[in-house]
Structures are given as C-alpha cells and as structure tokens.
C-alpha cells in the first residue's frame, strides 16, 4: 500500500517520494530531522507570535519542514524557518476534497519518513476523533483531522497549544 508524490523544496529542487513503509512506534524509530507543521488557517496576532517563537526554537540546520496544510500556520512557519529546508505541499484546487487530499498527503508523508507532526492547536479536538489511516468524516477542524491521520499512520504528534490551556487535547496526541 503506497503512493508517490512530487514535493518542491525551498532550495528549488523537486523530489519524488518513495512508497510508504511500516515501522515501529517507539521513540527510537523517530527520525529527528523530519518535521511537518499544521495549525489554523487564521491565527490571532498573539498566536502568530507564540508560534513564531516556538518555531524559532525548533528550527535547526539540517531539519526538513513540510508545510502547506493551513495558510495561517504555513505563513508563520515559512517565515520562521531560517536554518532548515521547507518542503511545500500544494493543493490541486480549493474544493474540500482537494484540501483534504493535500492534508492527508502531508500526514502520510511525515509518517512515512518516521518524523514528527507539530500541531499548533487553536481549538478543541472532538472526543469522537481518533487516529485513522485516511481522512475522517465528521465534525473536526482540518488541523485535528491531519493530526489523526498522521498518528494513525504512526507519526509522532506534538501539540503546541495556542489557546492558553483551554483546548481539549486527546490522550492519543499527548
């Protein structure tokens, strides 16, 4: 069960990704150079500043950052990433199914690379949302659905709370 996808890097290269492979969920299996970003499409100024400060702390030489899942979080991330390489995922349109496809590809790509999805949460995760292999139906933000797909495909998920501790974070994302 696999897929191939072209990804454009910030260095102007186009890379073809390989087929998905299964791996262990232990911390030892996590590739610490591979990261992805998801969050809100619209962020308040204080949320942008918090995310930018956290991104600046995380960004190091040699890291690869996948972005393209949410306009607001993407803008902050691409501005904050000074040392790593940005790989941009692009939607083939603006229809909900096209956006869901792009988010699913980002989640599965970071899982395939055994990396970490960093989610900047701006809302609660519904109690009914659980890790899954493909894009789930139901009521939940795209941010949380992306996290559920990444976790369902065995990626490590790290939640950065932009709600001052108000958002409900599920146990599977802790």
DSSP-assigned letters across all residues of 89-103: ---S-SSHHHHHHHH
Alpha-carbon span 89 to 66, nearest angstrom: 7
Whether the per-residue pLDDT at 115 is higher than 80: the answer is: yes
Check residue 129 and give its pLDDT.
94
- The Cβ of residue 152 has, within 10 Å, a number of other Cβ atoms equal to 18
Q: Tokens at residue 150, please?
A: 């990444």
Determine the longest span between alpha carbons in the chain, in angstroms: 42
Q: Tokens at residue 1, please?
A: 């069960």
Average pLDDT for 70-80: 94
What's the predicted TM-score (pTM) here?
0.82
Phi, psi of 50 (to 5 degrees): -65, -45
Spell out the domains of the chain, with CATH numbers in brackets.
Answer: 33-169 (3.40.50.450)
Residue with tokens 């890379």: 15
What is the tens place of the pLDDT at every residue in 28-37? 557 899 999 9
Q: Tokens at residue 132, please?
A: 């899954």
What is the tens place of the pLDDT at every residue in 154-163? 999 999 999 9
């Amino acid at each position: 069960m696999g897929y191939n996808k072209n990804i454009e890097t910030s260095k102007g290269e186009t890379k073809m990704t390989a087929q998905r492979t299964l791996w262990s969920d232990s911390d030892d299996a996590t590739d610490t150079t591979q990261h992805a970003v998801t969050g809100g499409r619209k962020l308040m100024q204080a949320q942008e500043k918090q995310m930018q400060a956290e991104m600046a702390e995380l960004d190091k030489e040699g890291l690869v950052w996948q972005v393209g899942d949410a306009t607001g979080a993407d803008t902050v991330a691409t501005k904050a990433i000074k040392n790593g390489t940005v790989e941009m995922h692009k939607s083939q349109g603006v229809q909900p199914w096209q956006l869901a496809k792009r988010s699913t590809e980002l989640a599965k790509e970071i899982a395939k690379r055994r990396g970490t999805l960093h989610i900047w949460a701006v809302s609660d995760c519904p109690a009914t949302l659980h890790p899954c292999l493909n894009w789930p139906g139901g009521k939940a933000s795209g941010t949380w659905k992306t996290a559920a797909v990444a976790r369902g495909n065995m990626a490590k998920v790290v939640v950065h709370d932009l709600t001052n501790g108000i958002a409900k974070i599920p146990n599977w994302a802790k």
